[in-house]
Structure 1
Amino acid sequence: MKQIVVLTGESGAGKTSALRHLEDLGFYAIDNIPLSLVEELIDLIEESSKIEKAVLVVDARSPEFEQKARELFSRLKERHPNLSIWYLTARKEKLLNRFKETRRPHPFQRFYPDKNLEELIEREKEVYEKLFSLFDRTIDTTNLTVHDLKRLIKELLLLQKPQLQVTFLSFGFKFGVPQTADNVFDVRFLPNPHFVPELKRKTGMDQEVADYIFRFPESQEALKKIKELVLFTLPQYEKEGKAYVTYAVGCTGGQHRSVAFAEILAEEVAREFPEFQIFVEHREQGVRRRVSEEGCSGRPPEELSRLPSGEPEKGRKPLQGR
């Protein structure tokens, strides 16, 4: 059976790179196809004895896309059970940066000459929101390098489930909210070890700091609720096709409460999802390490207030842009 991929998605989200990777993997590649020609081309591919794999880029650059894409995609899925539709997306901030770096005009500029770049990106996203239910695979390229995207495409074609990479990131609100966060939790309402003299110079990676934080019932309850949300959303992110997910936990300075929460959440989730790559990162300390495959402590789930003791890494500069 032939393998046919219809590639669509937002401008700047990586369709050109994905098309190139698929072509390198032996796919017959056709870019920027008018909607009126798509069905005829697919019929020709199905009839050809020389084409076994093909990828077609169909996107909102076509003036008729918004009006006709839903009907076309629905019809293609009915007529061609071997066809899959891949949707590439990225966060607005990332798309803005990509367009500024390349200095290329947004394709929607010809449709909406009076809109600025941010408005054009938002308008294009609105077009695709109406089509979500028709996509077989959604690929968020916000945090993907070209090499990450190539690896992910290979995994998808081999019908292997991509290994989701999950980061629990601690940060200080006074230094800004991390732009890479998919979810942000604020724990500034909890008792602060900063005001305990013997704990002030330590971090949430120190056992005595974690013991202090989790002696309070409200800390235990907050941890329980955050963990419940994480355990619920992770399978949904995997189903959506995301390669990277970041849960950020913030306190005032990013030294005590957020660090302790990120540590215990990473360890607990690594136990629940051994098939994922789990990382913990402390932005204000410049520390990032992998929790999965390092081995968990084996403590029972109810013992939430105990964290591995140990000193933060020294001599490292804060991670930029995290």
Structure 2
Amino acid sequence: MPEQVKQAVPAVLVTGPSGAGRTTAINVLEDLGFEAIDNLPLRLLPGLFDAAAAPRPMALGLDSRNRDFSPRALLDVIDMLGGRGELELTVLYLDAQPDVLLRRYSETRRRHPLAPAESPGEGVRRELDLMGPIRDRADILLDTSEMNVHQLKAEIERWFAPEGRALALSVQSFSYKRGMPHGIDMVFDCRFLANPYWEPALRRLSGEDRAVQDYVKADPLYEPFFTRVLDLTRLLLPAYRHEGKSHLSIAFGCTGGQHRSVTMAETLAKALAEDGQQVSIRHRELQGQQKSERPG
């Protein structure tokens, strides 16, 4: 009799800046049947999984308030958990705009954990800088700036409800100068497409802008390239679902990560969303910084 293949157990690592909704997300996941553990010291995590006699879906809340937190330590935890064959790890990063995080702290009159004797604004700034490398490793990125508690709950349920859960898709752009992102399933190089950087009127814009998208799409190679990428993605989605995967990550790279790769990511994400897919989109080089003069 052939040996039965064990199904990987879902594990969701919930993180992000203070005030973005991590506690709410942990509570929702617990209601969905996940065993929720919040702010366990990082050094204890390996023993936690080793001691689990009968693994069940688990939600782990980790952020800068952890006693032994550091970006490197949390990245090591992500690598460690991701390398365990019995687990299917999803890194859920809850984010919000700095002004929204500051407003939430002002409304609650809480002290920021990274600036207990200073202004909350200083704490928000420090934490966003600290969490940047973790944000880049997220499988699912949710911006809660415009969400209330009920909307965030519905969004978490949409991604993680066990019955009929759809495959989560993450589409992102990046710059080859800074290296490829971690944890990507499919990578496409866009550097052969016409580069808007060399057009002075487009240089300071990004692939989120219509003018840049129109310029890139005017390249004769754009349409056949995009069509083949979209067809390949549609072909693979059922196979990933059949394999029991919970998410698929697709990345587009170009020289500076501002123009061509952003255009491709935006266009693919829109097409997949129109197909009814759940899509999370992230532009690594555009997050938290001004548009700079570098080849895109």
- For the aligned pair, the TM-score class normalised by the smaller chain equals 0.5 to 0.7
SS at match of 1:11: coil
Q: Tell me if 1:118 matches 2:101.
A: no
Describe the shift of the 1:149–1:229 C-alpha distance in structure 2 as closer, same or farther (beyond 3 A). farther
Deviation of the 1:43 alpha carbon:
2.5
SS at match of 1:104: coil
Q: Tell me if 1:85 matches 2:91.
A: yes
Please tell me the residue identity of whatever aligns with 1:55.
A
Match for residue 61 of structure 2 among 34, 57, 64: 57
Q: Tell me if 1:108 matches 2:114.
A: yes
Alignment map for 1:180-219 (pairs within 5 Å)? none
Specify the alignment match of 1:197 in structure 2. Answer: none
Specify the alignment match of 1:34 in structure 2. Answer: 41
Partners of 1:273 and 1:107 in 2: CA distance? 37
SS at match of 2:77: helix
Q: Tell me if 1:19 matches 2:2.
A: no
Match for residue 129 of structure 1 among 128, 132, 137: 132
Partners of 1:42 and 1:101 in 2: CA distance? 38
Partners of 1:271 and 1:89 in 2: CA distance? 24
SS at match of 1:131: helix
Show structure 1 runs of 5+ residues with no match: 163-221, 241-269, 277-322
Please tell me the residue identity of whatever aligns with 1:227.
R
Equivalent pairs, count? 181
- Percent of aligned pairs with the same amino acid: 31
Deviation of the 1:41 alpha carbon:
1.3
Partners of 2:76 and 2:10 in 1: CA distance? 21
Deviation of the 1:271 alpha carbon:
9.6
Relative to the length of structure 2, the TM-score reads 0.53
Describe the shift of the 1:78–1:124 C-alpha distance in structure 2 as closer, same or farther (beyond 3 A). same
Describe the shift of the 1:273–1:137 C-alpha distance in structure 2 as closer, same or farther (beyond 3 A). closer
Deviation of the 1:28 alpha carbon:
0.9
Partners of 2:140 and 2:132 in 1: CA distance? 14
Partners of 2:271 and 2:139 in 1: CA distance? 29
Please tell me the residue identity of whatever aligns with 1:78.
G
Deviates more, 1:58-67 or 1:28-37: 58-67
Specify the alignment match of 1:149 in structure 2. Answer: 152
Please tell me the residue identity of whatever aligns with 1:84.
T
Q: Contact 1:12–1:99 at 8 Å: present in 2 too?
A: yes
Specify the alignment match of 2:11 in structure 1. Answer: 4
Deviates more, 1:15-24 or 1:98-107: 98-107
RCO higher in structure (CA 8 A, sep ≥6): 2
Specify the alignment match of 1:227 in structure 2. Answer: 210
SS at match of 1:69: helix
Q: Tell me if 1:74 matches 2:74.
A: no
The superposition leaves residues 136-192 of structure 1 with CA deviations (integer Å, 9 ceiling, x where unpaired) of 111111111222212221221213458xxxxxxxxxxxxxxxxxxxxxxxxxxxxxx
Describe the shift of the 1:34–1:275 C-alpha distance in structure 2 as closer, same or farther (beyond 3 A). same
Specify the alignment match of 1:255 in structure 2. Answer: none
Deviation of the 1:88 alpha carbon:
0.9
Larger radius of gyration: 1
Deviation of the 1:96 alpha carbon:
0.7
RMSD of Structure 2 on Structure 1 (CA) = 3.6
Q: Contact 1:74–1:134 at 8 Å: present in 2 too?
A: no
SS at match of 2:115: helix
Q: Contact 1:92–1:122 at 8 Å: present in 2 too?
A: yes
Show structure 2 runs of 5+ residues with no match: 1-7, 170-204, 217-229, 231-248, 251-269, 277-296
